[in-house]
Amino acid sequence: MCTMSSCTTILVFLFLFFCIRLFLAIFSYTRIRLASANPRLPQTCSIAIFLGSGGHTSEALKLASALDFGRYSPRTYIVSEGDTFSAQKALALEHIKAADHAFSDDQPQYELLFIPRARRVHQSLLSTPPHAVKSLLACMRLVSVRPLFKKGAFRQPFVDLLILNGPGTCVILCAAIFLNRLIGLPSPRVMYVESFARVKSLSLSGKLLYHFTDRFVVQWPGLVQPGGREIYRGCLV
């Protein structure tokens, strides 16, 4: 009898803890920060960019090319397994940037990471779940487990900022970040940039991630809803 009640108490506490974490994790997205997100002195900021494939990759790398690589360093390019196009394009950008800037050290300040695809093109919806689970596990390893074993970076997120622009697999990546926030581990800020191809309606990834990103950026004025959280600054690519 006594063990039963203590079990219940523990469960109630766990449940309450979970609710609070859930609230905090969700609340962390809805807070629109107008002041500096991170008023800090260090001059560099690590970023990760998800390269979705084809047109998504081209847009993501165009966005990346706009950044000051001296400041946004090191850079992690997250590529779906087997997507050599995206990997090559990322390397090409790093090459161009390295030629443009003379960085103080010769160490390459970027890495390429491969994660399993959540869903292949034309794949049936039925066979998606197992792939999605495999993909989620790989993302969780990247987002939650890997930073724990990183030397000299205790309680640091895997990167400071994650930039996403679709498709499919980026939703899984964002889910891993959400779980990471839920258990209270340090997480990157997440910025989603909707494709230039989207004029009147959001893509499926955009709709799914709308409430789960810190910054949601669109490239056409028709996508701005009154009172919405998206921001529009014109064509970015």
Partner 1 sequence: MLVFVTVGSTRFDALVEASISEPVLSTLRDSGYDRLIIQRGNSVIESSEEFNGESCTIQRHGVDIEIWRFKPFIQAECEQADLVISHAGSGTILDVLRLGKPLIVVPNPTLLDNHQEELASALQILGHLKATSIQDLASTIALFEPRDLVPFPPFDGTKFSKLVDEEMGFI
Site residues (vs partner 1, CB under 8 A): 36-40, 45, 54-55, 58-59, 62-63, 65-68, 71-72, 160-161, 163, 189, 191, 193, 195-201, 214-215, 217, 220, 222, 231, 233-237
168 vs 139: CA distance, rounded Å: 13
Task: Kindly state the smallest distance separating residue 66's Cβ from partner 1, in Å.
Answer: 3
Closest CB to partner 1 among 178 and 216? 216
Query: Left if phi > 0, otherwise alpha if psi is -120 to 50, otherwise beta: which for 155?
Result: left
Closest CB to partner 1 among 142 and 223? 223
The kind and range of the H/E element at 219 are none
Counting every residue, how long is the chain? 237
48 three-state secondary structure: strand
Task: Kindly state the smallest distance separating residue 235's Cβ from partner 1, in Å.
Answer: 7
Rg (CA), the chain: 19
> Pseudo-torsion of CA 143, 145, 151, 154, nearest 10°?
80
Task: Kindly state the smallest distance separating residue 72's Cβ from partner 1, in Å.
Answer: 7
Closest CB to partner 1 among 142 and 217? 217
Closest CB to partner 1 among 66 and 126? 66
Task: Kindly state the smallest distance separating residue 199's Cβ from partner 1, in Å.
Answer: 4
